[in-house]
């Protein structure tokens, strides 16, 4: 799956987070302090736009590129016979006379490390998704007060302009 194929909004919709989640509480507290610090609603709106866009890009990268590579790596540990009793095929580009042996690390440890990396990636994605959703909510609340487009409205307008430009050229 490529970064372009990963649907950030679908991922966020499937996420199950309770209102008493620590990340939710801390993000709300941070956003409230940021709103007070910035003061001006236009600055606040731009601030939340930036956060939402950054988290959207991060979730897209993690879910569409980084995590699939981690999963492929983890599956490769098993599929290549490293953790199974299946012998490795000796190909024409291997060093048959100098096979690589992991004497320094146990194969179970390597597999466990790969599983931990996948879990950490999923935790990062969840944190980014929570911040993304809360930032969009804050952005849209300020936008409503300023009689401006919502986050989704801006994205839709941008997509329409890009499509019109692509069609014209």
Share of the chain above pLDDT 90, in %: 60
The contacts of residue 28 (CB under 8 Å, 6+ apart) are: 134
- Cα–Cα distances in angstroms (integers) from residue 127 to residues 22, 28, 86, 108, 124, in the given order: 10, 13, 39, 29, 5
Question: Which stretches within the chain are classed as H helix?
Answer: 8-14, 22-38, 41-61, 67-79, 107-145, 151-168
Residue 12 lies in a domain: no
Domains held by the chain: number: 1
| CB distance 9 to 60 below 8 Å | no
| CB distance 52 to 151 below 8 Å | yes
Q: What is the pLDDT of residues 9-59, one digit of tens each?
A: 999 999 998 888 999 999 999 999 999 999 999 999 999 999 999 999 999
Cβ atoms within 10 Å of 56's Cβ, excluding its own: 20
Q: What is the C-alpha to C-alpha distance for residues 39 and 149, in angstroms, rounded to an integer?
A: 20
User: What is the pTM (predicted TM-score) of this model?
Assistant: 0.79
Q: Is the pLDDT of residue 88 over 60?
A: no
Residue 161 lies in a domain: yes
Residue 97 lies in a domain: no
Q: For residue 34, give both structure tokens.
A: 């940021």
Q: What is the C-alpha to C-alpha distance for residues 52 and 137, in angstroms, rounded to an integer?
A: 9
Residue 150 lies in a domain: yes
Residue 45 lies in a domain: yes
Backbone angles phi, psi at 83, to 5 degrees: -100, -10
pLDDT confidence band for 134 (50 / 70 / 90): very high
Average pLDDT of the segment spanning 146-156 = 92
Q: Is the pLDDT of residue 114 over 60?
A: yes
Give me the pLDDT at residue 84, please.
Answer: 45
Q: Which residue has the tokens 């999923």?
A: 122
Range of the domain at 121: 21-88+105-168
Q: Is the pLDDT of residue 90 over 70?
A: no
Cβ atoms within 10 Å of 129's Cβ, excluding its own: 25
Q: Which residue has the tokens 């009689």?
A: 147
Q: What is the C-alpha to C-alpha distance for residues 110 and 117, in angstroms, rounded to an integer?
A: 11
Q: Is the pLDDT of residue 163 over 80?
A: yes
Give me the pLDDT at residue 67, please.
Answer: 93
Residue 6 lies in a domain: no
Residue 35 lies in a domain: yes
Q: For residue 110, give both structure tokens.
A: 């390597």
Residue 41 lies in a domain: yes
| CB distance 144 to 67 below 8 Å | no
Share of the chain above pLDDT 70, in %: 80
- pLDDT higher for 1 or 24? 24
């Amino acid at each position: 799956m490529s970064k372009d194929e990963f649907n950030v909004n679908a991922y966020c919709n499937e996420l199950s987070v309770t209102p008493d989640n620590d990340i939710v509480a801390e993000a709300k507290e941070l956003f409230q302090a940021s709103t007070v610090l910035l003061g001006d609603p236009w600055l606040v709106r731009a601030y939340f736009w930036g956060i939402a866009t950054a988290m959207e890009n991060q979730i897209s990268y993690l879910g569409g590129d980084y995590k699939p590579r981690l999963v492929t790596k983890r599956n490769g540990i098993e599929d290549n016979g490293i953790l199974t009793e299946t012998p490795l095929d000796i190909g024409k580009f291997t060093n048959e006379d100098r096979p690589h042996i992991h004497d320094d690390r146990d194969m179970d440890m390597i597999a466990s490390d790969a599983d931990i990396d996948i879990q950490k990636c999923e935790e990062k994605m969840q944190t980014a998704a929570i911040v993304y959703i809360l930032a969009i909510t804050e952005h849209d609340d300020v936008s409503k007060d300023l009689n401006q487009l919502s986050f989704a409205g801006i994205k839709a307008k941008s997509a329409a302009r890009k499509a019109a430009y692509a069609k014209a050229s």
